[in-house]
Every structure is written in structure tokens, then in C-alpha cells.
Amino acid sequence: MAFRPLSQISKFYRVSEWIHLLGLCLIGFVYSPEDFHLGALPLPIVASSFYLAFGFSSNTVLEGYPSMKTPMKRLLLSFSPGLLCLLVSYFSSAYMVLTFFICIVLSVLYSAPFPRLKNVPFIGLFLNSSLFTAPFLAGYFTAGGQFNVIFILLFAMVFSFVVPFQLVHEMEHLRDDTALGYRTTAAYASLPVVKLISASFLVSAILSHYLASKLFSRYDQFILMSLLFSVFLLAVVFRLREGDYAQFGRCRILMRMAAVAYGVSLLVVFFSSLY
């Protein structure tokens, strides 16, 4: 019984759905062109935890607002981590504060009853995909990364990797979203179009990585893992068939496992190169 409050908190903030995304903070550290100190790593992890808790919980609350019970209490509970995220970010860098502030505002626009950009095909897809780059950027900026050409290329790389994940997520929830009246990209795009979009963005991810490696040679050691990761994601997505909604859940799990393996391989290669 002592763990029940913790379980309720975890459920409200949907912790199990985003805890793995904190690994993006460490990947952002690795991809920063500057030398870094691991002692600074807790800052982006804590800030990203608050950001993700806000993002996932506010999505649930705003989509149900105002018909749910105690809506104002739930709004307060869901928005509080967003404010804490900005407070923690203040102790890191101005770039990090700006990143999270923009993402928090866009997150509200995505889920709020108006304008509910989730309900706009393609714009909702690309907006939500961009919101998942924030933990990576938090690690990148905390490690001393700057807003420059390398930043743009790395943002494009991470964003391009996220889009196929978001597409599969939309396909998995297509029937529920349609029943609720949501017009997501998956409702408009056929499965062949979903495959084409996924392939295009995975090629974009590799191209962005390649161009970044031309500007900063340290990224050369990561490009093989990125290529293998892209090929695996492409193979998984292209195995999808029409009419089987259960397959999208299995596909999402496989893609998540591949992402974790990809992240671990990047860290192993990077830290091995230091010794």
C-alpha cells in the first residue's frame, strides 16, 4: 500500500512511456562538438524528466479538458513539471531554456482544444516529432553545443529518425483516433505512403549525419551505427501489411528496442575512443 501513491503519480505522468527517452540526453552529450564533463549530465536529465512528465500528462489532460473530473487540479498537476523544467534549465544555458520554452508552448498548441494541431495532418506529425528532440538538444547544449550549422544538421538527424516512430504510433492508434474525431496523418496516408515517408526521412537522417561528419570528424565513428539503425527501421516498416492493427504495436516495440541498442552502441564506441 505504501507504493500506491508512487504508482498513481507514475501513471498520471505516464513515466513508463517516456523513461527510455532520457537516454537522448546522454546521446546529446556525445554529439556535442565541445569537451564535456559528465558531472553536468544530471541537469539535462532532470530537466528532460520534468519536460516529458509535463508533455505526456498535459496531452492526456488537455485532450480530456474540460469534461474530466477536477480539470483545474489536473491542469495544475500537469503544468507544474513544465515550470520546474524551465527552472532547472536556467542553471544550464540560455539555449536550453529557449529550447524547452518553445517546446512547452508547441506542446500546448498540439494538444489544447484550440488550435489542437494534433488534428492537422502532417503538421501534427512533424510538430510532435520535433518535440521529442528536446532531450537530445538539452544534452547537446549542456555539454557546450552552440546554435550553428552542426546544430541544424544534428537536429535534422534526430528529427528524421523520430518521424517513422511517430508514424507507426499514429497507425497503431488510428482506429481510436478516428473514433474520437482526430484527423492524424495516418488517417489520410495509406500504408504505402507511410512507408515512403519513413524511407525518405531515414535517408534524410543519414544524409544529415554524413554532412555533420564532414564538419566535425568525431562523428565519423558513429555513421555506421546510424546506417545500420536506419536499415533495420526501414526493414521493420516495410514488413507492415494492410489490415493487421496488432502488427503496429509489435513494430513499435521492435523499433524501440532497436533505438535502445543504437544508443548503447553509440555510447560504447564513443567512450571506447577516449581510452
For residues 252 and 270, membership in a common domain is answered with yes
Looking at the 3D structure of the chain, how many domains does it have? 2
Arithmetic mean of pLDDT, 11-30: 92
For residues 139 and 176, membership in a common domain is answered with no
64-78, 185-199, 200-214: segment of lowest average pLDDT:
64-78
For residues 273 and 153, membership in a common domain is answered with yes
pLDDT-based confidence at 175, cuts 50/70/90? confident
CATH number at residue 196: 1.20.120
What's the CA gap between 54 and 14, in Å, rounded? 10
Give the number of other Cβ atoms within 10 Å of residue 20's Cβ.
Answer: 13
Query: Does the pLDDT value for residue 244 go beyond 70?
Result: yes
Query: Does the pLDDT value for residue 4 go beyond 80?
Result: no
For residues 64 and 162, membership in a common domain is answered with no
2-6, 53-57, 221-225: segment of lowest average pLDDT:
2-6
For residues 102 and 203, membership in a common domain is answered with no
Query: Does the pLDDT value for residue 3 go beyond 60?
Result: no
Query: Does the pLDDT value for residue 1 go beyond 50?
Result: no
Whole-number pLDDT of residue 265? 92
In a domain, 1, yes or no: no
Q: What is the pLDDT of residues 22-79, one digit of tens each?
A: 999 989 988 988 776 777 889 999 999 999 999 999 999 998 776 666 678 889 999 9
Arithmetic mean of pLDDT, 179-207: 90
Q: Which long-range contacts does 107-111 make (Cβ < 8 Å, 24+ apart)?
A: 107/54, 107/55, 107/58, 107/59, 107/131, 108/58, 108/62, 110/59, 111/58, 111/59, 111/62, 111/63
Average pLDDT of the chain is: 90
Whole-number pLDDT of residue 186? 87
In a domain, 25, yes or no: yes
